[in-house]
C-alpha cells in the first residue's frame, strides 16, 4: 500500500499535477477499494496511458518528464494489480 502513496507521479513544486489527463484518473484509482470499480478504473487508466504514449511516440521529442511519469504510473498499476486484484507478479 505504501508503494502507491510514496510513488512519485511527478507533481510540480506546487502540488499541481503536470499531466492531469491521466494522473487524475490514476489518483482516483489509487484511492479505490471496491474491486468491481477498481477493475473498471484500471482499464480506463491503462487506456489513457496507452493513448498518451501513442501521442508521444508520434509527436516530437522533449517529453522525457512525462515519459518518466508514465513509467512510474505503470509501476503503480502493476502493484495495484498484484496487491488489490491478485494478479501474479510478473517482474
Q: What is the pLDDT of residues 22-74, one digit of tens each?
A: 999 999 999 999 999 999 999 999 999 999 999 998 877 778 999 999 999 99
CA distance 22 to 47: 9
pLDDT of 38? 97
Domains in the chain: boundaries:
2-84
pLDDT band at residue 15 under the 50/70/90 scheme: confident
pLDDT band at residue 6 under the 50/70/90 scheme: very low
pLDDT of 1? 45
Residue 6 burial (CB count, 10 A)? 7
Q: CA-based angle 33:70:59, to the nearest 5?
A: 140
Amino acid at each position: 500500500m505504501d508503494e502507491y502513496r510514496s510513488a512519485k507521479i511527478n507533481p510540480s513544486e506546487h502540488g499541481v499535477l503536470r499531466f492531469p489527463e491521466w494522473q487524475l484518473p490514476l489518483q482516483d484509482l489509487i484511492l479505490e477499494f471496491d474491486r468491481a470499480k477498481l477493475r473498471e478504473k484500471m482499464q480506463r487508466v491503462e487506456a489513457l496511458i496507452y493513448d498518451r504514449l501513442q501521442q508521444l511516440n508520434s509527436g516530437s521529442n522533449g517529453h522525457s518528464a512525462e515519459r518518466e511519469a508514465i513509467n512510474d504510473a505503470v509501476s503503480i498499476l502493476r502493484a495495484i494489480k498484484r496487491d488489490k486484484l491478485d494478479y501474479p507478479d510478473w517482474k
